[in-house]
Homo-oligomer: A and B are copies of this chain.
Amino acid sequence: MTGRLAIVGLGPGAAELITPLASETLAAATDLVGYAPYLARVPERAGQLRHPSDNREELGRARQALELAAAGKSVAVVSSGDPGVFAMASAVFEAIETGKPAWKDIEVAVVPGVSAMLAAAARIGAPLGHDFCVISLSDNLKPWDLVLKRLEAAASGDFIIVLYNPASKARPWQLGDALRLIARHRTPSTPVVFASAVSRPDERIDITTLAGADPANADMRTLIIIGSSATRLVAVGKGRRFVYTPRRAELVET
C-alpha cells in the first residue's frame, strides 16, 4: 500500500498568509515531518503524528518522509515560505531520484507558499519590481567561488539581488565580502533592506544603504535585498519610507 507525500509551504509566518490549500493539506495528513520550529506553527490535530527534526538534516528528513509514505501514510513535509526556494522540495526530489525504487511510485505534490522574499518586499514597497537574482550565501553545499561568480554576474548585470542565508556563526565573514563585491558595481546610496521573521511577532525590518549596511546585523534568518541602479528609497508622510524599483529601466555602466 503506497501513501502520498505533500511538501507544504507555510508562508513567512502569519496564519493569514497560509493558503487554504496548504491548510487543507496539513489537516488531511496522518504524519507531519519538518524542522521543529516550523512544525510548531501548524495547529495540533488529534491522531496526527509529528516527526520534528533538526534543521541540518534535510536529506535524512526527506527519506524519513518517503519511508512513511511508502508504508501507506499521508505525509506532509512542512517548509517555511515556499518549499521550492532553498527549502525542502529539492531534498525530497533528490531523495526520490537516489533512493529506493519504490519511492518513485509515491504520489508527490508541492503546495507553494508566499516566500520570505515576497513577504519582505511587500512590507517595504516593491523592491522586486524589476529583474532580480536570488542567491544563497551558504557554502555548505557549494564552493564559495561559485557564490562569488554568481554575485559578480548579478552585480554586473544590474539585477536587484536577494540574499538568503547571509551569515551564520560558522561563516560570519561572507556577507561583508559579498557587500564589498556588490559595492564595486553600485553607488553607496543604493537601498539595502535587512528583513527577518516577516509577519511574525518578532519581525524586524531595517532599511539602509549599501554604504550603511552592517553585516553584523544579519544572521541565518535574515533576508537581504540590495537594489539595482534604478531602485529608489522614497520618504512619504508620517515618517514612512518605501523602497521600490520602477518598471522603466535604462542600460547603465556597471
Contact = CB atoms under 8 A, between A and B. Distances in A.
A50 interface: no
Contacts of A82: 114, 118, 122
A97 interface: yes
Contact of A247 (B15, B19, B115, B141): B141
A143 B230 CA distance: 14
A129 interface: yes
Interface residues of A, number: 79
A211 interface: no
A38 interface: no
B153 A159 contact: yes
B246 A104 contact: no
A157 B158 contact: no
A121 B112 contact: yes
A234 B114 contact: no
Interface string A107-120: 01011111100110
A73 interface: no
B20 A141 contact: no
